[in-house]
Amino acid sequence: MRKNTKNARVLIYSHDTFGLGHLRRCHAIAQSLVARRKGLSVLILSGSPIIGSFDFRSRVDFVRIPGVIKLHNGEYSSLSLDIDIGEILEMRASIIQHTAKVFNPDLFLVDKEPLGLRGEIHETLRMLKRNGTQCVLGLRDVLDDPVLLAREWERKQPVPALRDLYDEIWVYGLPQICNPLAGIDLPETVRAKITYTGYLRRNPSENDTAAMSKPQFDEPYLLVTTGGGGDGESLIDWVLRAYEADSEIPHPALLVFGPFMAPRRRENFRKRVERLERVKAITFDTHVEDLMRDAAGVVAMGGYNTFCEILSLDKPALIVPRRKPRMEQYIRASRAQQLGLVTMLSDEYGRNASRMTRALRELPHQNRPSTVVVPGLLDGLDNIYRMVDVWAPDMFANEVSVATQGL
């Protein structure tokens, strides 16, 4: 560990091939850590093309590695550069390793992919482990259907790295919801490294100026959000058909398309929105918590970050999960509905407008998540801080407020 306890460093890796989930989770953790202690710097390695759109606290910064995107056939391609994927991956691995060497972190936190995209952080892990860096794998609460995940891990072979290179595995959820590694044959030494942190609490920002620029309603509204939006077209279409069929749904709707929705489809949706008096739409907002705070209810696909926001802001929620390419959202929504935290509306029987209309009418009258007592449900950021502090109790000598406002 670094001897200069006033200059502790955390390096976070997020492969970010598509969507917002990995980036927003890493952003929340970074913001929380620096808000709690002076003398700590966090650097995020990310392939997200929109990482620069996010606000960062002092002592949080990022390195943008060349972006890639996963194609329908499962292969990867460069997001922007006209360069062979092999060269892109070699470039990414080199940037990651060089950054880690120079930054020399006390803690290396890897999001979801134990070896990184196509193994791109394997050598970096080896280097940091030799240097005494604490290496941690962070997993969301649900990864995929256990059978499908077992096949994926059989192909990627991450278990030796979990055994030999990682010190701990943090699951950003609770076992009452899901065990993300169910079905994986893990050595007992690896299972002993697993800690369930609870979900990551989110709070609205304190930026009143930003709030003034958001679409305004004179009455409570329903927030319809697709996360990144790359696969959110079905949800937006279904909600629009409900408002087109029934102009007297009690609450108006604010649609958030997401930055990765196809531009042509987004413009087609905007034309439909313009014909509806009680529906408004925006493309993207990095502070979706602010929009959710003022909503009477939330309609969403049920990605990890949106689920955290629903729990944190205690909003009645209607979850319409996808089932492809991963079962993640469906598993999370199903279990959360069983616990009484949300209501799930599956489209496996079709997207009839009357079904959505009925669900939208009932949504504001649902119980809020807080009516269900789940101990430790939103303790994730608190527990992450405690675990980092236990590793290096002298690392954070200069304590500041533990408040995490604005995350």
Q: Please report the pLDDT score of residue 52 as a whole number.
A: 86
pTM: 0.91
121 and 221 in one domain?
A: no
CA dihedral for 21, 26, 27, 29, sign (positive or negative): positive
Nearest C-alpha neighbor of 163 from the set 141, 124, 127, 193: 193
Q: Please report the pLDDT score of residue 404 as a whole number.
A: 44
For residues 180 and 140, what is the distance between their CA atoms, to the nearest angstrom? 7
Inside any domain, residue 396: no
Inside any domain, residue 345: yes
Per the structure, how many domains does the chain have?
2
249 and 125 in one domain?
A: no
157 and 13 in one domain?
A: yes
Inside any domain, residue 406: no
- The pLDDT tens digits for 354-397 are 999 999 999 999 999 999 999 999 999 999 999 998 765 555 44
128 and 41 in one domain?
A: yes
Inside any domain, residue 40: yes
DSSP annotation of 399? B
Q: Please report the pLDDT score of residue 260 as a whole number.
A: 87
Q: Please report the pLDDT score of residue 3 as a whole number.
A: 45
Inside any domain, residue 402: no
Strands 343-344 and 317-319: parallel
Structure token pair of residue 209: 């100026």
- The pLDDT tens digits for 272-317 are 999 999 999 999 888 899 999 999 999 999 999 999 999 999 999 9
Q: Which of 151-186 are b and which e, b meaning 16 or more Cβ less than 10 Å from the residue's Cβ?
A: eebeeeebbebbeebbebbbbbbbebbbbbbebbeb
123 and 45 in one domain?
A: yes
For residues 258 and 300, what is the distance between their CA atoms, to the nearest angstrom? 12
Inside any domain, residue 399: no
348 and 366 in one domain?
A: yes
Mean pLDDT of the chain: 89
For residues 123 and 298, what is the distance between their CA atoms, to the nearest angstrom? 43
149 and 23 in one domain?
A: yes
147 and 255 in one domain?
A: no
Per-residue pLDDT of the chain (407 residues; tens, 9 = 90+): 444 445 789 999 998 766 678 899 999 999 999 999 888 999 999 988 888 888 898 999 999 999 887 665 556 677 778 788 889 899 999 999 999 999 999 999 999 999 999 999 999 999 999 999 999 999 999 999 999 999 999 999 999 999 999 999 999 999 989 999 998 999 999 999 999 999 999 988 766 544 445 667 888 999 999 988 888 999 999 999 999 999 999 999 999 999 889 999 999 999 999 999 999 999 988 889 999 999 999 999 999 999 999 999 999 999 999 988 889 999 999 999 999 999 999 988 889 999 999 999 999 999 999 999 999 999 999 999 999 987 655 554 444 444 444 44
Domain that holds residue 226: 208-371
CATH number of residue 297's parent domain: 3.40.50.2000
Sheet strands (E) in 131-278: 134-140, 168-172, 194-196, 221-225, 253-256
189 and 113 in one domain?
A: yes
For residues 8 and 3, what is the distance between their CA atoms, to the nearest angstrom? 9
Q: Please report the pLDDT score of residue 401 as a whole number.
A: 41
359 and 223 in one domain?
A: yes
293 and 242 in one domain?
A: yes
